[in-house]
Structure 1
Amino acid sequence: MGRSRFGRPAAGYRVRVSPTGNNDSAGTVSGSTAAPTARKRRRRRLLIVLAVLALLAGTGLSAGAYYVDSVPTPSDLELPESTTVYFADGRTPMAKLGTENRTIVPYPEMNDAAKQAIVATEDRTFWTNEGIDFSGVLRAAWSNVTGGQRQGASTITQQYARVAADLKGVSYSRKLREAVIAWKLDDKYSKEEILGFYLNTVPFGRGSYGIEAAAQAYFGKTVRRDAPAANQLTTAEAMVLCAMVKQPEADPDDPEGHPGYDPRRSPLARQNSIDRWNYIRDGMVKLGYLSADEAANLAYPDTVKPLDPAAGRSNLDRPTGLVVNHVLSELRQTEPFQGKPADYIRNGGFKIVTTIDKRVQDAADAAADLRRDTAPEAVRGQPKNWQAALVAVEPGTGRVLGYHGGSDGSGADYAGWYQDENGEARGFGQHPPGSSFKVYDLATAVQEKISVKQHFDSPETKEFPASGRTKGSPAGPIRNAERAPCQPDCALWEATVASLNVTYFALTEQLGTAKVIDMATKAGVDSMWANEKGNPRPKRIELRGHSGEELARHFSTEVGIGQYGITVQDHANGMATFAAGGKRADAHFVRSVTKGDEKILDEQLVQTDIGLDREAVNQLNWTLSRVKAAKLDNGWDSAGKTGTWQAGTSTTQNVHTWMVGYTGALAAAVWLGTVDGKPLKTSDGSYDVYGSTGPGPIWRQFMEQATAALKLDPDKYRFQEPAFPDDTPSPTAPATPKPTSAQPTATATRPTCDPGTCVTASPTRKPTPTPTGSPKPSPSRSPKPSRSAEPSLTPPPR
């Protein structure tokens, strides 16, 4: 069958179109009643030309020529399609992204209800007209010539042309361009294509664009014909939706008098909807879509979802909004999305399945959101400047199962950092880890075959000349934060439980700063913030891809007791590595990305052995499981470590407190501090906030609730007892410690001591927990960090 230059069948032939819009397989019939005769078509075109000429007389020939020469076609129109971010189950939405809430459904995949209802609503001659209501155009032209009132009807094709070309207003020039575009559209595209364009384009209210988004917004259903019948939009429901097209939203100047057609907006809007629904039903009968009996038995549906003030919002203001930031940042580093425009992902119509398990996320938000009644009693009802962050990682996979960087997803991220659309670092997630960093010292020790039963000289204070910590130095000697019953001669495991700084400074010096940093890097700490001379802000140092020897020049021996900031996310991943028996997997947020049936991206799970043998892992677990704050009440074997970092030179006020740890199935890190950098002060005026008393309860509640929600068997994740093959430790560590390769820190401290508890004073430099390129927190005041000052978990001797 021949075709004209506009893509239509050659003269005298036209495909017969049934009332449902499907092609009649019986073939084409010249001169049939289903299509206008050639004479009628020529007469209509003549009338259109006359109307156009009349309009040209009022708008100018030059404008008319411009419109004819620059007609956009649907192929030129890239409709923004919203991207949906899901939780790990792939079914529960986390957030909608994009400038418009739209999900495009190809015309053949739509059920007939939507197609029929929109034709009965907006253009009952759609299947037979030429794309233009020529009589309406002639009326508009006549009014233009005679100075009468502006008027003119629009077909579905004209309405689509108006949207496609972004034509606004009621001017004659707009009507002209609309008519020309519609005419050319009708010549180039099939009726089915045009109706598909229209149904995927027009607004339906509640922030929804296109029939599929509307079906979900109003009824929680779909127009896809391959969906289960119970989930598909019915004819009666489609009629309610199509009534919205006339006025999708209430008139902002008179919302009460002109509320539109959303039946849940007001009684008047409901009546408007019912009246128009009845009008559509009559049209359905006239067009043969419904019989008279079917129409009589059709009931107006009362199943429209309540009007949600947040309808159309992306949910990015929720805590999971921060997850979305990390998801987008992660995707921009992958080959399918690298170098794409900023809105490519948001408006690309993708389905992004994250690693976030909703059950774990709910437990994280319940425990770490201090404003909720679900937070542990120890941290509930405290001053408004208190802030917590929690990250949970699945051992062996690196999947981030829960992420709470703050209660406001559009605000500051206290758990990590990410890159925005411009490649700039954003977030507020680095904090000095204090004694919680000692887990990496301990892991290095057991890797080097230093038994946790080996004894170390552990006095209250000790000089370390190799690291510049002497009585005569500005920094002074190292002092313990607390006393322990084992002092002055403690096994490494006892010093771990008591968090003795002297022991761990000696251990770090013996091992070498490079090895400790190397262990932290291999375990999961990808970044650490170092102080630089002349720079008031700490600088983020990328650890990954560099050896410990290369990195050691940036850090002093104080790295072993947690002076340098790291993120909650990295710390959680380090714990996950230990929980997986020394097998590191990269922490990540994305499981898969698809678009329709096309698989765009899939996670690649890769493990790296960090070099801990089974005995080393068993000794690590055995030691950390003896930390009182890490013990769970639900039958799970658990391990962990607390940490504290002080404010300025104070010996009693803390700014950063930590609790990190793991079971065999779940690892998590919790930080508790303040949004303004001031010391943690309780509502009753006390400064007694430590890792065990602040983040400890948050960590324990989360771990117990999360493991219960995951319904895992704790017996499958038991720790193994270490063998202690060399169980004859010497009373002290080697007499001559290895000097560190690092230079003494520029942030020297001086010793201070209060009755019964000695601590190390703070360095003079003032780090701001913001990654390079991130905005300063507000307010910008940040106290100077101090040495680790975690109270002993073993009572001191009386």
Structure 2
Amino acid sequence: MGRAEERRARQRGSRRAAPRRGRSSGAPGKSGIRRLFTWKKILGTFFGLCLLGMGAFIVLYMVIDIPPAKSDAKLQSNVYKYSDGTVLTRDGERNREIVDLANVPKDVQHAFVAAENKTFYKDSGVDLKGTARGVFNTLSGKGAQGGSTITQQYVKNYYLTQDQTVTRKLKELVISLKLDREKSKDYILAGYMNTSYYGRSAYGIQAAAQAYYRVDAENLTIEQGAYLAALLQAPNQYDWAIATDTGKKLAQERWNYVLDNMVEMKWLDASERRAMKFPVPEEPKPNAGLKGQAGYLVEAANAALKEQLVAEGAAEDLEQAKALVDAGGWTVTLNVDRKKQAELEKAVKAQLTGKLDPGQRKVDADVQAGAVSVDPKTGAVVAMYGGVDYLKHFTNNATRDDYQPASTFKPVVLAAAVDGGAETQDGVPITANTIYDGDSRRPVVDDGRAVGFAPPNEDEVDYGDITVQEAMNKSVNSVFAQMGIDVGMSEVVDVAGKLGMETKGMEAVPAQTLGSMGASPLEMAGVYATLANHGEKVTPALVKSAEHSSRKVEFPDPLGEQVISREAADTVTSVLTGVVNDGTARKSVRNNPLRDGQQVAGKTGTSDNNRSAWFTGYTPELVTSVGLFGEDDEPPHKQVPMYQAGGVDHRVNGGGFPAEIWAAYTFGVMDGTSKFDLDTKQGAAVRRSTPPPATRTPSQTPTEEPTSQAPTTQEPTSQAPTTEAPTEEPTETPSSTPPSTPPTSEEPTDEESPENPLLPNGDRDINRRDD
């Protein structure tokens, strides 16, 4: 080899050796990296991962089904409304009322789409970029980010949790795709609007519309709808009532964003948009809940709804019906009139509760009031007073039936007598003018034999011979006890049932003539409403309608068939006008300055030992029953007397607080004056030609005193018939002085006199037996 060749060989060896000087031992060469990471391999790996991801997604799509809805996503409140449609209250675990999309204006629907998902009507239910961003932010710990479609948000609200996890986001993606294929866009939009949270404890568009603007969803304007749509981004931050200045600025910017998007989407005219002003929401209004009278009304309405669900066959029993009602979603419209309800509450406060002072008189804490007012021409319960406050006294005094109605039952006895053409023991037809022996503790006889019942009159007064009319006016127990036997107690109980009383378990015994059974103000209002309706059955109806998304409940007609003759019903009404003008209710009702010539019929009642006091009265337009009940303020809440409650001298009479409440309410809500249209030839206006004899020979058989003047249907008084109320209160002189020791009989009596007699030492006997 020549020198030149050697030199070239050395140079070639140096070039080959140079790379080896900078290479670590054992490391692969450059050519090895190229062989490992070729473009073909990188692309193959990428497509392989894509295929693997697609395969995994296909598996997920096949495995993940649309799950059942979350239990709390379907929770709704029940909505209770007055007869005019205004909301009384809501009750339930979640303030939500689901509405059909058809009940939401189209412009408001568009506002929600413009705010949250402009491509809603075109997309497949998902936003892949937004979802990918959400997954990345979750993995990197950056929290929740926007980008979800309306469908995805609905899926999250209705089916899934709010957890920010990759698993939940993948489920959201799959379910959204499936839901978009299976359901219409309207279905999804309705679900989204009904499940979203708007702040102010409002879930769903209907609750939000009420919470922010006091309107139903169907009455929302475009401006209001745009604000509610804007709220969803940050409900608490954008709530105008609690927002900071920054929050208010952001809320307005978001509102403008929604409307501008609507213009862009051709859903809103630009000129109309420029004229719009920001709709400042109403101040938050505390949820009435069940406080005050609302709880009593809700409780009674629910009871009526449950009974009707069973009657219709929608529920097998009351327990199942309760589950249906408690599940929520009901809109229950009551027959209650807002004005009358407010006036009844006002009357009770002014005439009773405002006068009670438990700090001064312990007994005042034991007085409970209940009242029900019914329109006798429709059967509608237009007002109800259940107690001082449902959250303080849970028992509804308007529907409770554990207290005696006392002498408010006596008209039922007379109705049975006239309707059945009953006669006295002497064979004399029983009319308003029939004469009875009115002595206290007179033994009741049947076919000449004593039946073992001799009730005392109030304050042991002996009235001697007295007409049925006068006996009703003065509430003479001995007369009606005997009348019950003359009519037949089984017939009396039968008529009581026809008029609307619960007679199951009611024994056909003479003591029942004095109202010894239990009854509620609701029950007694129904009885007197049937009398006011000329004998056609009236079943008081509290609920006007009840609707749910799955059903509508039909309630029976409150007006029924003729259950007693019109003559019998109208005769009782005529007689009961005498109680107001000449009897036990005259002080509180007859001379009331608000009466303005209004005709009134009614009856007082005061039970054994002053445990209850009643006045149930009516005009041609309105029947109202008011009851006062003595209930121990301390558990177990036993029945107790009400002597001297409210500062009265002695006992609480039916002609006192109850009649005062009745008059303040009735005369406060009546629309003009009205007269009874009575088909009767007897009643309070019929007076006898001669007074009863000063002395008489006791007899076991009553007789009838003839009349000398024609009867009239004008409102009666103790003088000649007149349409004007007397200006002077008549006085009554008992025929005997009552004893200073209480009677021993345990049968209930009726105590209706204006005053309690004095004892020999000048004190009132507050421990004597009262009735």
Q: State TM-score, norm by structure 2.
A: 0.72
2:751 corresponds in structure 1 to 790
Match of 1:625, SS?
helix
Deviation at 1:523, TM superposition (A): 1.6
What is the rounded CA distance, in whole Å, between the counterparts of 1:717 and 1:667 in structure 2? Answer: 15
Instruction: Say yes or no: does 1:522 pair with 2:498.
Output: yes
Cα pair 2:125 2:176 within 8 Å, conserved: yes
2:403 corresponds in structure 1 to 431
Distance verdict in 2 for CA 1:560–1:762, change over 3 Å: same
Deviation at 1:53, TM superposition (A): 7.5
1:592 corresponds in structure 2 to 545
Instruction: Say yes or no: does 1:634 pair with 2:596.
Output: yes
2:385 corresponds in structure 1 to 404
1:35 corresponds in structure 2 to none
What is the rounded CA distance, in whole Å, between the counterparts of 1:797 and 1:679 in structure 2? Answer: 20
Cα pair 1:629 1:696 within 8 Å, conserved: yes
What is the rounded CA distance, in whole Å, between the counterparts of 2:284 and 2:198 in structure 1? Answer: 13
Match of 1:208, SS?
coil
Deviation per residue, 1:244-292 (Å, 9 max, x gap): 21233x4xxxxxxxxx221012435434423433444554455555577
What is the rounded CA distance, in whole Å, between the counterparts of 1:637 and 1:134 in structure 2? Answer: 77
Deviation per residue, 1:210-235 (Å, 9 max, x gap): 223322321234553xxxxxx4422x
1:244 corresponds in structure 2 to 231
What is the rounded CA distance, in whole Å, between the counterparts of 1:325 and 1:238 in structure 2? Answer: 33
Q: Which has the higher strand share?
A: 1
Larger CA deviation: 130-139 vs 430-439: 130-139
Distance verdict in 2 for CA 1:701–1:199, change over 3 Å: same
Paired residue type of 1:490? I
2:205 corresponds in structure 1 to 211
- Aligned pairs (5 A) from 1:66-215: 68-72=63-67, 79-80=74-75, 82-89=77-84, 91-107=85-101, 110-141=104-135, 149=142, 153=146, 154-215=148-209
- Aligned pairs (5 A) from 1:336-375: 337-339=314-316, 342-345=322-325, 349-368=329-348, 372-373=349-350
Deviation per residue, 1:292-315 (Å, 9 max, x gap): 76655543222x111113278899
Selected match of 2:528 from 540, 552, 575:
575
Match of 2:751, SS?
coil
What is the rounded CA distance, in whole Å, between the counterparts of 1:289 and 1:186 in structure 2? Answer: 23
1:625 corresponds in structure 2 to 578
What is the rounded CA distance, in whole Å, between the counterparts of 1:109 and 1:344 in structure 2? Answer: 24
Distance verdict in 2 for CA 1:384–1:119, change over 3 Å: same
Deviation at 1:169, TM superposition (A): 1.4
Paired residue type of 2:301? V
Q: Which has the higher helix share?
A: 2
Instruction: Say yes or no: does 1:687 pair with 2:650.
Output: yes
Deviation per residue, 1:105-124 (Å, 9 max, x gap): 44455334323322332234
* Residue segments in structure 1 that go unaligned for 5+ positions in a row: 1-44, 225-230, 251-259, 418-427, 528-540, 544-550, 648-653, 738-752, 764-785
Cα pair 2:615 2:627 within 8 Å, conserved: yes
Paired residue type of 1:722? Q
What is the rounded CA distance, in whole Å, between the counterparts of 1:692 and 1:434 in structure 2? Answer: 13
RMSD over equivalenced CA pairs, Å: 4.4
Distance verdict in 2 for CA 1:217–1:343, change over 3 Å: farther
What is the rounded CA distance, in whole Å, between the counterparts of 2:566 and 2:290 in structure 1? Answer: 50
1:669 corresponds in structure 2 to 625
- Aligned pairs (5 A) from 1:489-504: 489-504=465-480
Match of 1:788, SS?
coil
2:675 corresponds in structure 1 to 715
Instruction: Say yes or no: does 1:267 pair with 2:244.
Output: yes
Deviation at 1:389, TM superposition (A): 0.7
2:458 corresponds in structure 1 to 481
Distance verdict in 2 for CA 1:480–1:182, change over 3 Å: same
Deviation at 1:672, TM superposition (A): 0.7
Paired residue type of 2:312? E
Cα pair 1:322 1:409 within 8 Å, conserved: no
Deviation at 1:561, TM superposition (A): 1.5
Paired residue type of 2:479? T
Deviation per residue, 1:576-621 (Å, 9 max, x gap): 1222222222222233345689864254244333334526732652
2:301 corresponds in structure 1 to 324
Q: State TM-score, norm by structure 1.
A: 0.70
Cα pair 2:60 2:174 within 8 Å, conserved: no
Deviation per residue, 1:377-431 (Å, 9 max, x gap): 77688823321111122325433222212233454344454xxxxxxxxxx4321
Match of 2:251, SS?
helix
What is the rounded CA distance, in whole Å, between the counterparts of 1:525 and 1:736 in structure 2? Answer: 30
Deviation per residue, 1:609-642 (Å, 9 max, x gap): 3334526732652355233416443312222221
Deviation per residue, 1:131-161 (Å, 9 max, x gap): 222224334555677x665555422111111
Paired residue type of 1:120? A
Instruction: Say yes or no: does 1:658 pair with 2:620.
Output: no
1:23 corresponds in structure 2 to none
Paired residue type of 2:651? D
Deviation at 1:345, TM superposition (A): 4.2
Distance verdict in 2 for CA 1:593–1:727, change over 3 Å: farther
What is the rounded CA distance, in whole Å, between the counterparts of 1:312 and 1:458 in structure 2? Answer: 52
Cα pair 1:376 1:701 within 8 Å, conserved: no
Instruction: Say yes or no: does 1:696 pair with 2:677.
Output: no
Match of 1:673, SS?
strand
Cα pair 1:139 1:151 within 8 Å, conserved: no
Deviation at 1:70, TM superposition (A): 2.9
Paired residue type of 1:788? T
2:370 corresponds in structure 1 to 389
- Aligned pairs (5 A) from 1:465-480: 477-480=454-457
Deviation at 1:689, TM superposition (A): 1.6
What is the rounded CA distance, in whole Å, between the counterparts of 1:207 and 1:329 in structure 2? Answer: 28
Deviation at 1:656, TM superposition (A): 1.0
What is the rounded CA distance, in whole Å, between the counterparts of 1:204 and 1:96 in structure 2? Answer: 17
What is the rounded CA distance, in whole Å, between the counterparts of 2:121 and 2:49 in structure 1? Answer: 19
Instruction: Say yes or no: does 1:276 pair with 2:239.
Output: no
Deviation at 1:575, TM superposition (A): 1.1
Cα pair 2:456 2:477 within 8 Å, conserved: yes
Cα pair 2:530 2:536 within 8 Å, conserved: yes
Cα pair 2:415 2:568 within 8 Å, conserved: no
Cα pair 1:642 1:790 within 8 Å, conserved: no
2:489 corresponds in structure 1 to 513
Paired residue type of 1:398? G
Distance verdict in 2 for CA 1:761–1:270, change over 3 Å: farther
Match of 1:361, SS?
helix
What is the rounded CA distance, in whole Å, between the counterparts of 1:761 and 1:580 in structure 2? Answer: 40
Cα pair 2:615 2:655 within 8 Å, conserved: yes
Paired residue type of 1:643? G
Cα pair 2:445 2:482 within 8 Å, conserved: no
Paired residue type of 1:452? A
Cα pair 2:238 2:251 within 8 Å, conserved: yes
Deviation at 1:499, TM superposition (A): 2.0
* Residue segments in structure 2 that go unaligned for 5+ positions in a row: 1-46, 423-428, 633-638, 703-735, 760-771
Larger CA deviation: 327-336 vs 493-502: 327-336
Distance verdict in 2 for CA 1:488–1:107, change over 3 Å: closer
Match of 1:431, SS?
coil
What is the rounded CA distance, in whole Å, between the counterparts of 1:580 and 1:93 in structure 2? Answer: 31
Cα pair 1:355 1:591 within 8 Å, conserved: yes
Cα pair 1:326 1:589 within 8 Å, conserved: no
Instruction: Say yes or no: does 1:233 pair with 2:221.
Output: yes
Larger radius of gyration: 2
Cα pair 1:67 1:180 within 8 Å, conserved: no
Cα pair 1:498 1:793 within 8 Å, conserved: no
Cα pair 2:96 2:206 within 8 Å, conserved: yes
What is the rounded CA distance, in whole Å, between the counterparts of 1:46 and 1:84 in structure 2? Answer: 57
